[in-house]
Structure 1
Amino acid sequence: MLDDDRALRELLRTCRTVAVVGAKDRPGAPVDGVGRYLLDVGFTVYPVHPARKTVWGLTAYPSLADVPGPIDIVVLFRAPQHCPDHAREAVALVPPPRIFWMQSGISSPEAASILAGMPVHVVSDRCLMVEHRRLLA
Structure 2
Amino acid sequence: MDHNRYEDGYIADILKSTRTIALLGASPNPARPSYGVMSFLLRKGYDVFPVNPGQAGKEILGRTVYARLADVPQPVDMVDVFRAPEFLAAVMDEAIALPTRPKVIWSQLDIRDDAAAAKAEAEGIKVVMDRCPAIEYPRLIG
- Give the structure 2 partner of residue 4 of structure 1: 7
Is the aligned partner of 1:46 residue 2:39?
no
Deviant stretches of 4+, over 2 Å: none
The 3-state SS of whatever aligns with 1:45 is strand
Partner Cα distance (2:99, 2:11) in 1:
22
- Give the structure 1 partner of residue 20 of structure 2: 17
Q: TM-score, normalised by structure 1?
A: 0.94
The 3-state SS of whatever aligns with 1:68 is coil
Structure 2 counterpart of 1:26, which letter? N
* Identity in percent: 39
Moved more, 115-124 or 83-92: 115-124
Consecutive unaligned residues of structure 2, counting only runs of 5 or more, are none
What is the RMSD of the two structures over their aligned residues, measured on CA atoms? 1.3
C-alpha deviation, 1:87, in angstroms:
0.3
C-alpha deviation, 1:134, in angstroms:
1.1
The 3-state SS of whatever aligns with 2:40 is helix
Q: TM-score, normalised by structure 2?
A: 0.91
Query: Is the alpha carbon distance of 1:6 and 1:92 closer, same or farther for their aligned partners in structure 2, counting shifts above 3 Å?
Result: same
- Give the structure 2 partner of residue 123 of structure 1: 128
Structure 2 counterpart of 1:74, which letter? V
| Contact 1:96-1:119 at 8 Å conserved across structures | no
Structure 1 counterpart of 2:130, which letter? D
Consecutive unaligned residues of structure 1, counting only runs of 5 or more, are none
| Contact 2:15-2:133 at 8 Å conserved across structures | no
- Give the structure 1 partner of residue 73 of structure 2: 68
